[in-house]
Amino acid sequence: MGDRVSVSMTDGVADVRLVRADKMNALDAAMFEALVATTERLSKEKGLRAVVLSGEGKAFCAGLDMGRFAAMKENGGNGVPGGEFRDLTKRTHGLANAAQQAVWGWRMLPVPVIAAIHGVAFGGGFQLALGADIRLLTPDARMSIMEIKWGLVPDMAGTPILASLVRDDILRELTYTGRIFSAQEALSYGLATKIVDDPRAAALEMARDIAGKSPDAIRAAKRMLNKLSVDPGPALLAESVEQQKLIGSPNQTEAVRANIEKRAPRFVDV
C-alpha cells in the first residue's frame, strides 16, 4: 500500500496521499488495491474524525493507467485489478465490485472526506474525487468523464453520486462527449465545492475544524446525508452490467486502438 497510498494521522485527521507521482497517480492494479485497503483500514481507525484525500506530483489522478488500455488493445482485457477479464456484476464489497469500492469506500467511511484536487482528475480519477463529501479545486484544475474516449462508460460508482450533484442534461452532455472542463465549470455544475489556491492546505484546515466538532454528531450527519442520495444499489449494478457488455466488443476495442494509434476511429454501425 505504501508505494501507492500513504496515510498519516494527526489529531483525528487522516492525511491520505496518492504517491504514484511519476504516473500522475494513474490507477493500476496496485493503486486499486491500495485505495480499497486504505478505506478498509480507516473504517476501523479509532479516533478518526475527518479525512483529506490528495495526490502528490502534478495531478490528483490522471485516470486508468495507460498500460491497462494497451492490454485491452492486445487481448480484450478489461483493465481492472488483476488484468484478466472478471465478472463485473459480482458484488465483492457489499453493493459494489472491487473497482467501484475504490471510490465507494470513501463515500461509506463514517466521517467526512475532503478531496484536494490539482492538475487533472480524469475518468477514474474524476470518479475517485466524487467519492469525497467535499471537493476543493485549484483554479487551473481540469476534470473529465473521459470513459467514452475508450468506448466505455463510467463504472467506478460515479453515476449514483453524479445523479445527486449535477443537472441531468449537463451530466448527459459530459458523459456523451467526454470533454475536459475547467474548475470554474465544475463549480457551476455542482462538482466543486470551492476553488482555492492551495486545496490541500484548505482541506486540512477544514478537516481540523470538523475534527473539533462532536464526533457523534458528525458521524450521525454523514449517515443522515448519505440516505438522501439516489438508491445506490441499482445504479452500481447498472454500471457493471453496461460496462461488461462494452468491454472487448468490436467498437470498444476499436476506440482503444484508434486512441493509441492516434487516428480517427472506424466504428461499425449497431
DSSP-derived letter for residue 21 is G
Asked if the model's pLDDT at residue 162 lies above 70, the reply is yes
Taking all residues of the chain, what is their mean pLDDT, rounded to a whole number? 93
Q: What is the pLDDT of residues 244-267, one digit of tens each?
A: 999 999 999 999 999 999 999 999
36-53 pLDDT per residue, tens: 999 999 999 999 999 999
Query: Are 105 and 123 spatial neighbours (Cβ–Cβ below 8 Å)?
Result: no
Instruction: Of 85, 52, 66, 51, give the one whose Cα is nearest residue 20.
Output: 66
Q: What is the DSSP string of 138-191?
A: -TT-EEE-GGGGGT----SSHHHHHTTTS-HHHHHHHHHH---EEHHHHHHHTS
Distance from the Cα of residue 39 to its chain's centroid: 13
Please give the pLDDT value at position 69.
Answer: 63
- CA-closest candidate to residue 109, choices 219, 213, 247: 219
Does the pLDDT of residue 172 top 60, yes or no?
A: yes
Vertex 190 angle, CA 183 and 198, to 5°: 40
Q: Which residue has the cell 474524525?
A: 49
Instruction: Look at residue 84 in the predicted model and tell me its pLDDT.
Output: 42
Q: Which three cell numbers stand for residue 73?
A: 488493445
The answer to whether 123 touches 161, Cβ cutoff 8 Å, is no
d(CA 128, CA 245): 23
Torsions phi, psi of 23, nearest 5?
-115, 20
Handedness of CA 158, 159, 161, 162 (dihedral sign): positive
Q: Which three cell numbers stand for residue 216?
A: 457523534
Q: What is the mean pLDDT of residues 77-82?
A: 42
Which are the contacts of 6, defined by CB distance < 8 A and separation ≥ 6? 16, 17, 19
User: Mean pLDDT, to the nearest integer, of 30-35?
Assistant: 97
Please give the DSSP secondary-structure letter assigned to residue 267.
Answer: P
Query: Is the pLDDT at 83 greater than 50, yes or no?
Result: no
Contact 131, 68 (CB under 8 A): no
Joined grid coordinates for residue 266: 472506424
b or e along 105-118 (b: 16 or more beta carbons within 10 Å of the residue's beta carbon)? bbbbbebbbbbbbb
C-alpha cell belonging to residue 183? 474548475
pLDDT of residue 57: 98
Is the pTM higher than 0.75? yes
What pLDDT does residue 110 have?
98
Q: Name the residue among 47, 242, 255 with its Cα closest to residue 158.
A: 242
- Mean pLDDT confidence for 83-96: 82
pLDDT (tens digit per residue) in 189-207:
999 999 999 999 999 999 9
160 burial (CB, 10 Å; 0-12 / 13-18 / 19+) is buried
Q: Which of 68-72, 132-136, 215-219 shows the lowest per-residue confidence on average (mean pLDDT)?
A: 68-72
Let me know: does 93 contact 99? Beta carbons within 8 Å. no
- The residue-averaged pLDDT of 82-96 equals 79
| Band of residue 67 on the pLDDT scale cut at 50, 70, 90 | confident
Contact 243, 127 (CB under 8 A): no
pLDDT of residue 270 exceeding 90: no
